[in-house]
Amino acid sequence: MQSSLLSNTPSPSLNCESSSDEEEITLDEICDRNYELSLLERLPRELVMEIISFAPECVFRLRLTSRMFRAIVDDFAYNQGNAQIADEVMFTSFEWDSKKKTEVSAVVPKPIYKLFELRLLISLRALRFDFTKRIDRSFDKLDDHPNVYKLNYTSALDYGRMPLLQCLTTLIVSTYFLLSLSTLVRSLYLEQLQVFGTSGWSPKYFFGTHHVDWSATILRMFERRRLDALCIENPRYPAYLTAEAAEMLREGFAIELQYLPKTGKAVWFEATCSVYSDEGFAEVTNGHLVKGVTFDFNRAGSLSVKHFSRNEERLSKYE
Amino acid sequence: MVLITLVSSDEQNFPVERELLKQSGTIETLIVNMNLDDEDTDAAAMPIPLPNVKGDVLEKVIQWMEHHKGDPVKEGDNEDNNAEIVVPQWDDDFFKPAMYGSKHLELTVAASYLDIKNLLTLSCKAISNTFKGKTGPQIREEWGVPNEFTPEEEEAIRKENEWSE
């Protein structure tokens, strides 16, 4: 009977770090020892994930049942969860005592807060970030009231003098966060608010950084499983999307490279930018209407790529 | 009433009402591919083999489908909040005798293979309910999962989990 429960599909490899001795065990290695596994562990991996999705409050306790479960639970928390993980996430940058600080806050519904905390634990552990003392958690005793998490971190005085490592960490946190979000949600609306008091002001500012090639990040976001609609509103810092980045999104630099109309999805993308200030354009590529719009007094310039079937869709922070 | 015969891996025959089988995406596809719905086809003479499901499990699946005859069939990805799904009393009683054992797990695998989404959802939910309010070692004991952690390893995981306790 036991063999009938075994999954024939090879499990993808997963780095499962042991906190004690940094030993790495992969799911495949665990599966190789399947003669020792219980019936529950012999269920196909996708079914175990399905079961975990029904008990998000138990994820920490399930990590203590077996190596196999720990690896699958961590993978589920990190990559696979379908459910909405946070109601609201906000990034705020400000200066305090001559130091640039960033605060990330997340509002998380009670039923899934354990899953959120495990994802946070795994994500920040991977960045070697000592988070436990840095995250402020507000629990409301009422079941239908969400938990609020706040994480503060300090950047350097200005980006010109910022140590490379710190700069890199900031970039990883930002882009990594967006990529993670893209595995969870179908649509994202990102609005960059005005940042006051930054000594290193630059028209390239977006999402806490000045130095990111956003075309690569945006394309990688659309490569993720779920995201197919993205709206970026950043009229205050219009140079965040460079001409090269806009062209890369629109038509790629080389034929083998992916670009927005050729992601294999019916894409809905709109981003404010100053690239097409002088002259707009409109063209059709692979079933997508691609438009560069000049700015006028009423609206910022923009680049949009919208599949014909989604041309009438609207995406805003109010939806 | 049109009957279609399902054949389990141990070659037991189960004549089943055509209407019931609409709950199974896998069988529905086979029926279409084998033209069993055509008036000219003698459905009784064309049994559907299910080599991945044993007779005793198939019997339970049919029993479940009979009770849920007429329920709306789920389609596409499950977009519900799984944490909020409740197992109805009848289904809870249906799963209970097999709980913590191979039968329930085989039923879950069969629901997945036969693509019976409602049965799969409720079965997985029933399994997940057994985890609730229990510690890792308690879950281990109830489901017969051998403890393979070294004391140091277990302590390290506990320490990691501590932040969320």
The pLDDT tens digits of the residues spanning A197-215 come to: 554 567 888 887 777 778 8
| Residues A211-225: tens digit of each pLDDT | 777 888 899 899 887
Contact at CB, B79 and A82, closer than 8 angstroms: yes
Q: What is the pLDDT of residue B66?
A: 96
Among chain A residues, the shortest Cα distance to B153 is held by A20
pLDDT at A253: 59
- Whether A40 sits inside 8 A of B105 (CB atoms) is yes
Q: Which among A64, A111, A112 has the least Cβ separation from residue B157?
A: A64
**Tell me, what's the pLDDT at A216?**
83
The model's confidence at residue A156, banded by pLDDT at 50, 70 and 90, is very low
Q: What pLDDT, on the 0 to 100 scale, is given for residue A158?
A: 36
pLDDT value at position A159? 37
Confidence of residue B73 (pLDDT cuts 50, 70, 90): low
**B105 → closest Cβ in A39, A46, A117:** A39
Mean pLDDT of chain A: 74
pLDDT at A11 over 70: no
Q: Do A62 and B84 make contact, defined as CB atoms within 8 angstroms?
A: no
Q: Is B162 left (phi over 0), alpha (psi -120 to 50) or beta?
A: alpha
More confident: A142 or A167: A142
Which one of B10, B58, B79, B81 would you mutate to disrupt binding with A, by most A Cβ within 10 Å of its Cβ? Answer: B81
Which among B113, B127, B135, B141 is the top mutation candidate for probing chain A, defined by the most A β-carbons within 10 Å of its own β-carbon? B127
Confidence at A272, pLDDT banded by 50, 70, 90: very high
Task: Name the band, by pLDDT with cuts 50, 70 and 90, for residue B84.
Answer: low
What pLDDT was estimated at residue A163? 38
Average the pLDDT over each of A54-63, A88-97, A306-315 and give the range with the smallest value. Answer: A88-97
Average pLDDT across chain B, whole number: 88
Phi-psi region of A252 (alpha: psi -120 to 50; beta: other; left: phi over 0): left
Interface membership of B156 toward A (CB under 8 Å): yes
Handedness of CA A200, A204, A206, A209 (dihedral sign): negative
B-contacting residues in A 89-148 (Cβ below 8 Å) = 111-112, 114, 117-118, 121, 132
Query: Which chain A residues in 27-56 lie under 8 Å from chain B, judged by CB atoms?
Result: 36, 38-44, 46-47, 50-56
Per-residue pLDDT, averaged over A73-81, amounts to 76
pLDDT at A208: 72
Task: Please give the pLDDT value at position A237.
Answer: 87
Amino acid identity for residue B33 in this structure: N
Q: Is ipTM > 0.85 here? A: yes
Is A67's Cβ below 8 Å from some Cβ in B? yes
Q: Does the beta-carbon distance from B108 to A47 stay under 8 Å?
A: yes
Q: Hey, is the C-beta of B77 within 8 angstroms of any chain A C-beta?
A: yes
The Cα diameter of chain B in Å comes to 69
- The pLDDT of A167-184, averaged and rounded, is 67
Per-residue pLDDT, averaged over A121-138, amounts to 68
| Whole-number CA gyration radius for chain A | 22
What does the pLDDT read at residue A12? 29
pLDDT band at residue B54 using 50, 70 and 90 as cut-offs: very high
Burial A251-286 (b: 16+ CB within 10 A, else e): bbeeeeeebbbbbeeebbbbbbbbbbeeeeeeeeee
A12 vs A251, higher pLDDT: A251
**Contact of A260 with A269, CB cutoff 8 Å:** yes
Confidence (pLDDT) at A137: 79
Model confidence at A153: pLDDT above 70: no
Search chain A and give the residue with CA nearest B133: A58
Model pLDDT, residue B63:
96
Edge-to-edge strands, sheet with A229-233: A187-191, A229-233, A268-272, A302-307, A288-293, A281-285
Does the CB of A87 have a partner CB in chain B at under 8 Å?
no
CB contact under 8 A, A4 and B54: yes
- The answer to whether A63 faces chain B, any CB pair under 8 Å, is yes
Whole-angstrom distance, CA of residue B159 vs CA of residue B163: 8
Chain A residue with minimum CA distance to B112: A47
DSSP string, A249-302: HHH-SSTTS--GGGSSS--EEEEE-STTSS--EEEEETTEEEEEE---SSS--E
Burial of B53: CB neighbours in 10 Å, binned 0-12, 13-18, 19+: buried
**Residue B44 DSSP code:** G
Assign A52 a pLDDT band (cuts: 50, 70, 90): very high
Identify the pLDDT of residue A262.
Answer: 87
Query: In the prediction, which pLDDT does B4 show?
Result: 92
Lowest mean pLDDT among A93-102, A134-143, A293-302: A93-102
As beta bridge partners, residue A231 has A189, A270
Q: What does the pLDDT read at residue A109? A: 81
Percent of chain A, pLDDT > 90? 19
Cβ neighbors of A181 (< 8 A, separation 6 or more) are: A89, A188, A221, A227
Three-class SS of A188-257? EEEECCCCCCCCCCCCCCECCECCCCHHHHHHHHHHCCCCCEEEEECCCCHHHCCHHHHHHHHHCCCCCC
**pLDDT reported for residue B113:** 95
Q: Closest-CA residue in chain A for B146? A: A38
The average pLDDT across B105-123 equals: 94
Nearest to B105 among A5, A53, A117 (CB): A5
Inter-chain touch A40–B145, beta carbons under 8 Å: yes
Q: In this predicted model, which residue has the larger pLDDT, A157 or A38?
A: A38
**Burial of residue B160, with CB atoms counted within 10 A of its CB: 0-12 exposed, 13-18 middle, 19 or more buried:** buried
Contacts of B87 in chain A (CB under 8 A): none
pLDDT band at A79 (very low <50, low <70, confident <90, very high): low
Binding-face residues of B in 107-146 toward A, CB within 8 A: 108-109, 112, 120, 124-125, 127-129, 131-132, 134-137, 139-140, 143-146
Element (H, E) at A71: helix A67-75
Condensed to tens digits (0 to 9), the pLDDT of residues B135-151 reads 999 999 999 999 989 99
According to CATH, the superfamily of the domain at B3-132 is Potassium Channel Kv1.1; Chain A (3.30.710.10)
| Among A42, A62, A66, beta carbon nearest to B148 | A66
What is the model's pLDDT at position A306?
95
Percent of chain A at pLDDT > 70 equals 64
- Is residue A305 predicted with pLDDT exceeding 90? yes
pLDDT at B130: 93
